[in-house]
Amino acid sequence: MRALGIDIGGSGIKGAPVDLERGELTEERLRIPTPAPATPEAVAEVVGRIAGHFSWSGPVGVTFPGVVLDGITMTAANMNPGWVGVDARTLFAAATGDPVAVLNDADAAGLAEVAVGAAKGEAGVVLMLTFGTGIGSALFADGRLVPNTELGHLEIRGKDAEKRASDHAREHHDLSWEEWAGRVEEYLRHVEMLFSPSLIVIGGGVSKKADKFLPHVSVRTRLVPAVLRNEAGIVGAAMAAADL
């Protein structure tokens, strides 16, 4: 079975059809820059374009970088504030002409890593953290997702953690990989104290450069890069659409 996965990020919107059994893209992904401003209407238009590019008809899963409850986007820290309270499920269904599941972007990435990636078969508490425009989080207890944790907004030194330790912060402050690793370690130690996970999976755009910073991060918890790298959101979105 296949479903279309679309991953909305602060800088780009990516999508591709996914083989749900193998957790693999069946066609080369399409990436379109996130519109500025990223209003619901503008983003929905891009989602529709991606579905049209693949001539798609069938279930669609769409991620969103914020809290999603029953298809409604409740927060939008790195998106246009007009997203708060939007029925995204209905909006994207109208744009694609197909049934749509909507979920938090990091939750989607975590679902993919638990199903076919770095956290497959892991018992206990598993935490997936995505480092990109912000910091996304997905928390699992014995394979079951605790949705919408948004741990990038934990406070570190009086600021949202993602303001200090996201990949965007690394670029904005022109930090070396080693300097940034110090900020990531500080954040991970805080999360470790709160949740005592048995495994932390590092995802997002930086996961493909894990060798540049993970060797400089020292925490108690086992730390691994995401197997699906930056495609985890697409795969997890498609998996969320499997029951539609």
- Residue 78 is predicted with a pLDDT of 85
Which domain does 218 fall in, by range?
Answer: 121-228
- Residue 230 is predicted with a pLDDT of 85
The strand ranges marked E within 186-227 are 199-203, 222-225
Report the C-alpha dihedral over residues 159, 163, 165, 167, rounded to 10 degrees.
170
Does 127 share its domain with 224?
yes
Does 78 share its domain with 134?
no
Does 101 share its domain with 128?
no
Does 103 share its domain with 130?
no
Can you give the pTM of this predicted structure?
0.95
pLDDT in tens, 110-122: 999 999 999 999 9
Q: Residue 154: how many CB atoms within 10 A of its CB? A: 16
Coil, helix or strand for 56? Answer: coil
Does 99 share its domain with 143?
no
Residue 71 lies in a domain: yes
- Residue 136 is predicted with a pLDDT of 95
Q: What integer is the mean pLDDT of 155-167?
A: 96
pLDDT in tens, 5-60: 999 998 999 999 999 999 999 999 999 999 999 999 999 999 999 999 999 999 99
The count of structural domains within the chain is: 2
Which helix (H) or strand (E) segment holds residue 61: the answer is strand 60-64
* Residue in this structure with the two tokens 């078969």, named with its chain if needed: 121
pLDDT in tens, 62-120: 999 999 999 999 999 889 999 999 999 999 999 999 999 999 999 999 999 999 999 99
pLDDT in tens, 175-230: 999 999 999 999 999 999 999 999 999 999 899 999 999 999 999 999 999 999 98
- Residue 170 is predicted with a pLDDT of 98
